[in-house]
Amino acid sequence: MPQPDEYLAIRAWGEMMRSAPSYIVADQQLAADSNAPIDSIYHGSREWVTISEITNPDARRRIEDGLNGLRRELNR
C-alpha cells in the first residue's frame, strides 16, 4: 500500500490549485488510507480522480509539469 508522500500527483494538483500545505497532506493521507490509485489528483464526489481522467490539455500539462518538478526535487 502506498505511503501518503508517494501521492505526488495530489501534491502537484494541490500546489497548482494553491491549496494550503496542510490540506495537501490531509488529501495524501486520505488517499493512502483508502488505497487510492497512485496517480490520483483529488477526491471527487464519489471516487478518486486520476491524471488520465483530465481531458483539458492545459490542465493536464500543468499537472505533469508539476509532477516532473517534484520528481526532480526528490531525486537530488
Q: What is the pLDDT of residues 60-70, one digit of tens each?
A: 999 999 999 99
Residue 16 sits in which domain range?
Answer: 4-74
Cell of 12: 502537484
pLDDT digits (tens, 9 = 90+) for 14-70: 999 999 999 999 999 999 999 999 999 999 889 999 999 999 999 999 999 999 999
Helix residue spans in the chain (DSSP H): 8-16, 21-33, 57-74
pLDDT at 31: 98
Confidence of residue 6 (pLDDT cuts 50, 70, 90): very high
Output the pTM of the full model: 0.89
Query: Do the strands 48-50 and 40-43 form a parallel or antiparallel pair, or are they unpaired?
Result: antiparallel
pLDDT at 75: 87
> How many domains is the chain partitioned into structurally?
1
